[in-house]
């Protein structure tokens, strides 16, 4: 098996239905990733270890999803020097606003690249764009991906206009 370059982690396995769309996008682009559960609140040591060792293991981007008081993305970003993408997972009681604020409102010095609530697919695409800085084949695939999106919309438009 190839060495993963993207780490996808989530605070709870109940976040998997949302977070798996990030993995699907990476599969589509043939980029290797690892996927696991790391809970900021229940496994703080694991969080530290994962974040501290990710770069050495060859990980280049980390995607972290969490809901509610979503501390996982920000805490990972506090330990690693890798870019961290945060996915606010829709919460049971505040419609994901709590998740969004907890992830995006990071203090100066420690950024988290936040995407839309439940926007794990875009987290995957953003990871690919970041990797595209060193991998021009990937950047070319991204250009093609955007064209495909465009054609899909144009076809739907054509159907609707009939």
> What are 109's two structure tokens?
């010095």
Residue 22 is a binding residue for a second copy (CB under 8 A): no
Give yes or no for residue 58 binding a second copy (CB under 8 A): no
Rg of the Cα atoms in the chain: 16
With binding defined as CB under 8 A, does residue 32 bind a second copy?
no
Candidates 60, 63, 64, 65; binder of a second copy (CB under 8 A) is 60
Q: Among residues 96, 30, 39, which one has the least CA distance to residue 73? A: 39
Please report, as residue ranges, which positions from 125 to 154 form the binding site for a second copy (by CB under 8 A).
125-126, 129-134, 139, 142-143, 146, 149-150, 152-154
Q: Does 53 bind a second copy (CB under 8 A)?
A: no
Q: Within the chain, where are the H helices?
A: 16-28, 44-53, 72-79, 97-104, 120-131, 136-161
Among 7, 48, 56, 65, binds a second copy (CB under 8 A): 48
């Amino acid at each position: 098996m190839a060495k993963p370059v993207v780490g996808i982690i989530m605070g709870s396995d109940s976040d998997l239905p949302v977070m798996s769309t990030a993995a699907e996008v990476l599969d589509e682009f043939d980029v290797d990733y690892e996927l696991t559960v790391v809970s900021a609140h229940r496994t703080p040591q694991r969080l530290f270890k994962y974040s501290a060792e990710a770069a050495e293991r060859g990980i280049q981007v980390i995607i972290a999803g969490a809901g509610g008081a979503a501390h996982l993305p920000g805490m990972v970003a506090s330990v690693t020097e890798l870019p961290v993408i945060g996915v606010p997972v829709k919460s049971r009681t505040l419609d994901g606003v709590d998740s969004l604020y907890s992830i995006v409102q990071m203090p100066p010095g420690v950024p988290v690249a936040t995407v839309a609530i439940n926007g794990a697919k875009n987290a995957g695409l953003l990871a690919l764009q970041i990797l595209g800085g060193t991998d021009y084949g990937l950047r070319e695939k991204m250009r093609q991906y955007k064209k495909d999106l465009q054609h899909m919309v144009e076809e739907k438009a054509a159907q609707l206009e009939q």
